[in-house]
Amino acid sequence: MTAASPKTVRADLADALDASRTAREEAERELHRSFALRSRAAEALERTAGRPGLDESERARLRAEYADADRVVAERLAAMAKAQEFERAASVVAHAFEDEATSASPLAAALLQLVGSKRGATARRGALVSGRTAPAARVRSPRPRTA
């Protein structure tokens, strides 16, 4: 297993920071869109509240529409929180590497080795790295984290 150069690690960390920033910005846009859709659904439901002669099936449809919009808002809030968490983590790692890269720090050495092992695993395609079955380049887990 060879270690990657500090220059390579810096480039990878910069790419991770850019990707995490882009993901967070997209999550924010999606959240704002979902807030707007939920607000429209709420207004439509409220407009029908006092209207006499309105079919109850129409009110049920409007309530379901609002419930769907509210569910989407909750999902978008969770996605944005995850994107913000990932962006903070990428920033912390990048700053820590910059602070420690010039010294003989164990943190910098570990990051260099990790990136080197990631590149080796990518080249071998499917070889086990550190006894793990998932590729080392994988950043996100499909399962939500718990405390």
- Cβ 6 vs Cβ 113: under 8 Å: no
- Cβ 65 vs Cβ 41: under 8 Å: yes
Kindly report, residue by residue over 34-84, the tens digit of the pLDDT.
Answer: 999 999 999 998 988 877 777 888 889 999 999 999 999 999 999 999 999
Listed by start position, the domains of the chain span 6-124
Kindly report, residue by residue over 83-139, the tens digit of the pLDDT.
Answer: 999 989 888 888 877 776 666 667 666 766 666 665 555 544 444 334 444 444 444
Report d(CA 16, CA 61) in Å as an integer.
Answer: 43
